């Protein structure tokens, strides 16, 4: 922020007085400038009139005179629809919805102290607050308040660009997954492993599994249509219910045995050898899982357990998952 809020209010105020003759006094409502609005108590007591002399709204066509490119990108985006918001009035329409009242700037554009709200020089929390004046509701946005991204100071404009979006849909600053890889290098490496969900091939997207705006659960994970683990969204056949469930699928979940992104092992298993995975639980000494019967050869090189126990995610016919 180049200057403090009260001084900005003062300069706006004196500007208003100077061109009082030109000012179309808006509805007599105090200005609704979101984060930039000085708290009412900071208004100097000697200037009660300021409350009624909110800067006149400037319509987008006026800004267009000097910012044609920005005007065009806005006019070709979904934000153009705010023009129809007659209920919200001028402050919910056009450029000022995001850039704050800018009448002073429009008449004295080179005055650095009168610049409108700019996104590259602002704090993440101020940016978020500005966007959230309109985007705080809806199922996608429901968890914005507890979003890991928001709590980590990743603001809306880290992922979205209003004037220079690279995607037709959702105004993304970059398409997925490149957008996410700019910060998540570890995950980038995982999706480059030999066995992976085909995210780089654009068959599956990060946002199929995650909601970058936050979710109730851990890791910003989405859930399936039945509010169960996200994996069932696409792997319905693994959900059952089965007459004979394999307990860990239901209790520990898919990521007990699989890496969700990708890894070096076939079927994205956590171990290089299926038998090691099974034997990590099926040993008599360690868990509530029964040990493999004594006629099994316990050597890791023994035939793959899943050669016989094929229905490892659950079965309707065999308590030992043969079919």
State the number of binding residues for ligand HEC (CB under 6 A).
133
Nearer to ligand HEC, 49 or 164 (CB): 164
Q: Does 114 bind ligand HEC (CB under 6 A)?
A: no
Q: Does 140 bind ligand HEC (CB under 6 A)?
A: yes
Q: Contact, 315 vs 323, CB < 8 A?
A: yes
Q: Report residue 146 as tokens.
A: 């507890």
Q: Does 8 bind ligand HEC (CB under 6 A)?
A: no
Structure-derived torsion over alpha carbons of residues 62, 66, 72, 75, reported in degrees to the nearest 10: -20
Binders in 85-104 for ligand HEC, by CB under 6 A: 92, 94-99, 102
CB of 45 to ligand HEC, least distance (A): 30
Nearer to ligand HEC, 47 or 167 (CB): 167
Q: Does 213 bind ligand HEC (CB under 6 A)?
A: yes
User: Of 159, 215, 263, 315, which lies in the binding site for ligand HEC, with binding defined by CB under 6 A?
Assistant: 159
Q: Contact, 81 vs 93, CB < 8 A?
A: no
Nearer to ligand HEC, 49 or 256 (CB): 256
User: Of 12, 63, 104, 114, which lies in the binding site for ligand HEC, with binding defined by CB under 6 A?
Assistant: 63
Q: Does 37 bind ligand HEC (CB under 6 A)?
A: no
CB of 21 to ligand HEC, least distance (A): 19
């Amino acid at each position: 922020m180049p200057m403090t809020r009260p001084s900005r209010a003062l300069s706006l105020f004196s500007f208003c007085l100077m061109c009082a003759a030109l000012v179309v006094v808006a509805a007599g409502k105090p200005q609704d400038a979101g984060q930039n609005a000085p708290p009412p108590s900071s208004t100097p007591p000697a200037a009660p009139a300021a409350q009624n002399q909110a800067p006149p709204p400037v319509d987008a066509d006026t800004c267009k005179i000097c910012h044609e490119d920005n005007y065009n990108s806005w006019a070709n985006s979904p934000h153009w629809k705010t023009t129809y918001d007659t209920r919200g009035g001028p402050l919910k329409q056009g450029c000022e919805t995001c850039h704050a009242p800018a009448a002073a700037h429009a008449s004295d554009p080179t005055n650095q102290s009168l610049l409108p709200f700019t996104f590259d020089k602002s704090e993440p929390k101020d940016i978020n607050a500005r966007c959230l004046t309109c985007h705080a509701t809806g199922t996608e946005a429901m968890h914005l308040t507890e979003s890991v991204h928001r709590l980590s100071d990743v603001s809306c404009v880290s992922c979205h660009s209003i004037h220079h979006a690279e995607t037709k849909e959702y105004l993304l600053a970059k398409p997925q997954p490149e957008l996410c890889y700019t910060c998540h290098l570890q995950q980038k490496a995982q999706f480059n492993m030999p066995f992976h969900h085909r995210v780089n091939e654009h068959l599956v997207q990060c946002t199929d599994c995650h909601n970058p705006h936050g979710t109730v659960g851990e890791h910003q994970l989405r859930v399936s249509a039945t509010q169960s683990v996200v994996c069932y969204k696409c792997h319905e056949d693994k959900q059952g219910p089965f007459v004979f469930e394999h307990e860990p699928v239901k209790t520990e979940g898919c990521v007990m045995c699989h890496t969700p992104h990708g890894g070096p092992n076939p079927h994205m298993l956590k171990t290089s050898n299926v038998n090691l995975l099974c034997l990590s639980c099926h040993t008599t000494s360690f868990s509530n899982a029964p040990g493999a019967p004594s006629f099994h050869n316990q050597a890791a090189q023994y035939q793959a357990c899943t050669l016989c126990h094929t229905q490892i995610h659950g079965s309707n016919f065999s308590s030992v998952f043969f079919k």
